[in-house]
């Protein structure tokens, strides 16, 4: 049994991930900000913890993470407010990475997006710029850490059913279902070959376990 902490536990992907982990016997702790969401997490096999990652300290985060086997970052500010995007997608994310190191929890999986890169090329006047900048800097912080990290870069998310198959070699972003992203995260957590890798992926024809094990 593994113990996994999902930060952003009420997101659409996280709510699909929790039951996958619980079904294989893992202990799932889901971090949420809204107490009213607790019953939703219990229904999918997670243990909810109300905790404000945007404002809590690195020390408080380390206490939260202590005793876990892995951290999955699946949180986000949701766009629309550049200052809050920076606070959550960059500052809170990097704080959680440092806190994981403080807590001695080495495995860390970041759910990013396909186009995340330092040279993302988004115009500063574009409303998407704050998010692109925050994710790129957070991903780089993780890559430069001593954690056993994986950065996952799914393409445009859909609500289609899971296929269990992806494409990790596509030259450009396409789309992939949230259900398949949840399966990718679950497999990433048990596949050592994913450690130290940035994995961008679309929907495809290769079984997820095979694609990630290469």
Choose among 210, 204, 161, 213: nearest CA to 182: 161
What does the pLDDT read at residue 43? Answer: 97
What does the pLDDT read at residue 80? Answer: 73
Mean pLDDT for the stretch of residues 85-93: 97
**pLDDT band for position 74 (cuts 50, 70, 90):** very high
Mean pLDDT for the stretch of residues 144-153: 98
Helix %, strand %, coil % for the chain, to 5? Answer: 40, 25, 35
pLDDT tens, position by position, 30-61: 999 999 999 999 999 999 999 999 999 999 99
User: What architecture does CATH give domain 3-213?
Assistant: 3-Layer(aba) Sandwich (3.40)
pLDDT tens, position by position, 154-189: 999 999 999 999 999 989 999 999 999 999 999 999
Look-up: residue for tokens 């407010």? 81
Give yes or no for residue 78 having a pLDDT over 90: no
Spell out the domain ranges in the chain: 3-213
Q: What is the pTM of this model?
A: 0.97
Choose among 7, 191, 169: nearest CA to 88: 7
Give yes or no for residue 79 having a pLDDT over 80: no
């Amino acid at each position: 049994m593994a113990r996994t902490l999902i930060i952003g536990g009420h997101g659409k992907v996280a709510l699909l991930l929790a039951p996958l982990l619980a079904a294989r016997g893992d202990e799932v702790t889901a971090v949420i900000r809204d107490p009213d969401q607790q019953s939703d997490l219990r229904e999918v096999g997670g243990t909810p913890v109300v905790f404000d990652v945007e404002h809590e300290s690195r020390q408080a985060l380390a206490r939260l993470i202590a005793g876990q086997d892995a951290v999955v970052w699946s949180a986000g500010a949701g766009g629309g407010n550049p200052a809050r995007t920076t606070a959550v997608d960059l500052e809170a994310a990097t704080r959680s990475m440092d806190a994981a190191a403080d807590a001695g929890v080495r495995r860390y999986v970041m759910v990013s997006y396909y186009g995340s890169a330092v040279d993302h090329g988004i115009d500063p006047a574009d409303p998407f710029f704050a998010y692109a900048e925050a994710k790129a800097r957070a991903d780089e912080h993780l890559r430069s850490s001593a954690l056993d990290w994986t950065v996952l870069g799914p393409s445009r998310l859909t609500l289609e059913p899971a296929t269990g198959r992806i494409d990790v070699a596509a030259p450009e972003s396409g789309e992939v279902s949230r259900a398949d992203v949840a399966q990718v995260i679950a497999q990433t957590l048990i596949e050592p070959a994913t450690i130290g890798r940035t994995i961008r992926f679309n929907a495809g024809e290769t079984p997820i376990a095979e694609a990630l094990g290469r």
